[in-house]
Amino acid sequence: MSFKTNCLAAVAGLALLCGTAQAQTLRYANQGELKSLDPYTVNETTTHAHLGHPYEGLIRRGKNLEILPGLAESWTISDDGKTWRFALRKGVKFHGGEDFTADDVVFSADRARAPGSNVQTRVPTGTKVVKIDDHTVEFQLTSPNPILHYQWDTWYILSKTWAEKNNSTAPTPASATTPTFASLNANGTGAFKVESHQPGVKTVFKVNENWWNKSPEHNLKEIVFTPIASDATRVAALLSGEVDVIEPVPIQDIQRVNGTGTVQVLTGPELRTIFLGMDQVRDELVESSVKGKNPFKDIRVRKAFYQAIDIETIKTRVMRGLATPSPLMIAPELFPHTGFTRAKFDATEAKKLLTDAGYPDGFTVGMDCPNDRYVNDGQICQAVVGMLARIGVKVNLNAQPKGQYFAKVLKPGGYNTSFYLLGWTPGTSDSHNVLFDIMGCRDNPASSRGEANVAGYCNKKVDELTDKIIVEADKAKRDAMIKEAFQIAADDFGYIPLHQQALAWGVSKKVKLTQRADNAVHFQYAVKE
């Protein structure tokens, strides 16, 4: 009897397998962990990418980062630029069966601005979110903002009834002693549902049969995600066929991975710009042999540092060709580099500039650098140390893990650095963010301007232009002002932009995948044989 049952079960199982032969399981490993399923607690690219499977925003970004309708089918902007009206998609259901309505958008806007949320900037302060009818929402702003929706692809909409039922109306605050339901469970409208989630260990997504998009591009029935932090282990897992997709592939392993024939590396430019910053605020540097004055306040010293760096050798040797040297602090995909060139690498000229500035024998300066954040960041810094040594500058390199590095150099650590390497991707995919956060003057403590301007570069003309740029709706005028601002900063040698690093995803040849420049791994477009 029991034999017969087993047999039937086996036959049934086989039939099931046969019936769904098209649908595949995709196994994916990333360097980082998926810490919380609550989409408002961690503001970080990889987490947003993961949560883009169960959740959706009002807009989507397409394969080329173009803005596409998401949960909002269309929108209109009033003439004064202050009122945005969104028409919501009809007939959309959350995974739990709840209907998607305007109430959910209003609720999500409140939740995103609640204490404990890390995505508060998605909805500008003072904005009123008004439900017009079940499928229309209005955002009433205090000042015009043409890029209001730019980051909304990662402002995910939650179900109001679900959140209220499960006591998750606010994001889990860090001091909470019990986690909210939403950090362990997800209920979105997206293409995949969360089947199981063990934080930092494994997360399984199952296909959402009731997705509003009836003709999905993917053919997956399941995504199994495991974080693998160690580079070598992650590459080994891909090479041995234990996983189908990994991100990132260390650039030195790309050739080897491509050489196997069963897997390949997708590479492309990333939007992040890697740059060097020099403290221009303090009257005496935190760590330097120069006492009583700050050498970086002298433009000749900044220019000397710039020209001492042989960016091409860094590109070919450290980055193995997978980097685009950049004259600007923003990627060319986000603002065209036409008309800008990097100051030429010229060690002799650099040495002369240092002598002119009064440092014929150079000086000693400390440098801070992360060693696990950007592609080969530690090696880049070491290379910079060597290049500066040749113009007589002795650099004491302090390369450390990102947690400790950020704690030291960023605002909460009191910008405690003299010379540092940092990477920046404007979250809005727009130049304004760079001009405001990285290049804005830090002199007004009440303003958030220049919060990430660790170097403290300051030019009031840039600030003036930045303030005009945020409210300017005319694209041509706006671009001209952005160009002018970037030109001023470049002429000041306020920063030393290095390059845009490359993305490198390891993908099994059985999988077809689109690589997006913001490095978000989305499997909505994945097809596996």
Partner 1 sequence: MFAFILRRLFQSLIVMLSVALIAFAMFRFVGDPVNQIVSIDTPQAQVAEIRRSLGLDDPFLVQFARYIWNAARLEFGVSYQFRLPVISLLGERAPATLELALMSALFSLVVGIPMGVYTALKRESWLAKVFQAVSLIGISLPTFLIGILLIYLFSVTLGVLPSFGRGEVVRLGSWWTTGLLTVSGLKALVLPSITLGLFQMTLIMRLVRAEMLEVLRADYIKFARARGLKTRAVHFGHALKNTLVPVITIAGLQLGSIIAFAIITETVFQWPGMGQLFLRSVQNVDIPIMAAYLMLISFLFVTINLAVDLLYAAVDPRLRATVGAH
Partner 2 sequence: MSTSSEAPSRWSRIRDSDILASFLKSKVTMVAAFVVLILFIGAAFSPWLAPTNPFDPATVFLADSMIPPAWQDGGEARFILGTDDQGRDLYSAILYGMRVSLIVGGLGVALAASIGITLGLLAGYLGGRVDAVIMRIADVQLTFPAILIALLIDGVVRGLFKSASREDTAIYVLVISIGLSFWVQYARTIRGSTLVERNKDYVMAARLVGLPAPLIMLRHVLPNVIGPVLVILTINLGLAVITEATLSFLGVGLPATQPSLGTLISIGNRYLFSGDWWIVAFPGITLAALVLAVNLLGDWLRDALNPRLR
With contacts defined by CB under 8 A, name the span among 141-149, 227-235, 299-307, 514-522 that binds partner 2. Answer: 227-235
The answer to whether residue 440 forms part of the interface with partner 1 (CB under 8 A) is no
The answer to whether residue 233 forms part of the interface with partner 2 (CB under 8 A) is no
Per CB under 8 A, contacts with partner 2 among 403-462 are 416
Coil, strand or helix at 37: coil
In degrees, rounded to 5, the angle at the alpha carbon of residue 306 between the alpha carbons of residues 300 and 309 is 140
Per CB under 8 A, contacts with partner 1 among 399-428 are 401-404, 406-407, 410-413, 427
Q: What's the rounded Cα separation, in Å, for the pair 193 and 191?
A: 7
Q: Is 460 exposed, middle or buried (0-12, 13-18, 19+ CB in 10 A)?
A: exposed
Coil, strand or helix at 51: helix
The answer to whether residue 38 forms part of the interface with partner 1 (CB under 8 A) is yes
State how far the alpha carbon of 426 is from the alpha carbons of 271, 301, 461, 472, in Å: 8, 28, 21, 18
Closer to partner 1 by Cβ: residue 212 or 406: 406
Q: What's the rounded Cα separation, in Å, for the pair 376 and 231?
A: 12
Size (the chain), residues: 529
Coil, strand or helix at 278: strand
Q: What's the rounded Cα separation, in Å, for the pair 503 and 245?
A: 13
Q: How far is the CB of 389 from partner 2 (least distance, A)?
A: 4
Contact of residue 237 among partner 2, partner 1, none (CB under 5-8 Å per partner type): partner 1
Sign for the CA dihedral angle at 325, 330, 333, 335 comes to negative
Closer to partner 1 by Cβ: residue 173 or 321: 173
Closer to partner 2 by Cβ: residue 266 or 385: 385
State how far the alpha carbon of 230 is from the alpha carbons of 29, 100, 233, 256, 373, in Å: 11, 41, 5, 17, 13
Per CB under 8 A, contacts with partner 1 among 193-232 are 198-202, 226-230, 232
Encoded one letter per residue, x for contact with partner 1 by CB under 8 A and - for no contact, window 7-36 reads ----------------------x---x-xx
Q: Which of 333, 345, 493, 501 is nearest to 423 (CA)?
A: 501
With contacts defined by CB under 8 A, name the span among 137-145, 236-244, 356-364, 382-390 that binds partner 1. Answer: 236-244
Q: How far is the CB of 453 from partner 1 (least distance, A)?
A: 11
**DSSP label of 3:** H
Closer to partner 2 by Cβ: residue 388 or 462: 388
Q: Which amino acid is at 261?
A: G
Closer to partner 2 by Cβ: residue 219 or 313: 313
Q: Which amino acid is at 150?
A: Y
Residues of this chain that bind partner 2 (CB under 8 A): 231-232, 235-236, 239, 250, 252-253, 255-256, 286-287, 310, 313-314, 317-318, 366, 371-372, 378-379, 382-383, 385-387, 389-390, 395-401, 416
Residues in contact with partner 1 by the rule CB under 8 A = 29, 33, 35-36, 38, 41, 43-44, 115, 118, 120-121, 172-179, 183-184, 198-202, 226-230, 232-234, 236-237, 239-242, 372, 401-404, 406-407, 410-413, 427, 437, 445, 448, 451-452
